[in-house]
Amino acid sequence: MPSNDVRILLQAAVPTAAVGAIAAVVSGVVAGGKGAIGAVVATLVVILFMGIGLYVLQRTAKSLPHLFQAMGLMLYAAQILLLFIFMAAFKNTTLFHPKAFAITLVATTLAWIGAQARAHMKAKILYVEPDSSKGEKPEKTGHSS
């Protein structure tokens, strides 16, 4: 993973983890131990889903740049759908507090999206890769002018 990609991943994951930690403390106070567990699970799910999505999107941008925008839209739609499926699957669980899980899932997803948008805006990423051959002197073709 190039350094820009790792930097963007960290700049999105760290604030998300911080929001998740705050949510775990609040959920622990409000809903007890199961609330804290639900918040931690939701935070891990968001970081995992969104991190994998960012990795896939960066690989797509490098290998198929003409599909980048369509892949980005499809990827975000798929991620939101997977998060809804995950919430529906664990709606009636007794492993953790489902409401704390759902609220934390939404809060950390919004934190990830905001932090990722901020990281992309602050990154100095070239839109066009400079061609190294243009900077070199042109070779002689054997024709004289």
pLDDT in tens, the chain (145 residues): 566 678 888 888 999 999 999 999 999 999 989 999 999 999 999 999 888 888 888 888 778 878 778 888 888 888 888 888 887 887 787 888 888 988 998 999 999 999 988 887 887 666 666 665 555 555 555 555 5
Give the C-alpha separation, 86 to 112, whole Å.
Answer: 17
Q: State whether residue 16 is helix, strand or coil.
A: helix
Count of alpha carbons within 13 Å of 134, Cβ hemisphere only? 3
- CA torsion sign for 109, 5, 81, 96 is negative
Residue 85 is predicted with a pLDDT of 87
Taking a C-beta distance cutoff of 8 angstroms, is the pair 92, 98 a contact?
A: yes
What pLDDT score was predicted for residue 3?
Answer: 66
pLDDT tens digits for range 106-129: 999 999 999 988 887 887 666 666
**What number of CA atoms fall less than 13 Å from residue 81's CA on the CB side?**
6
Helices 3-31, 98-122: axis angle to 10 degrees equals 150
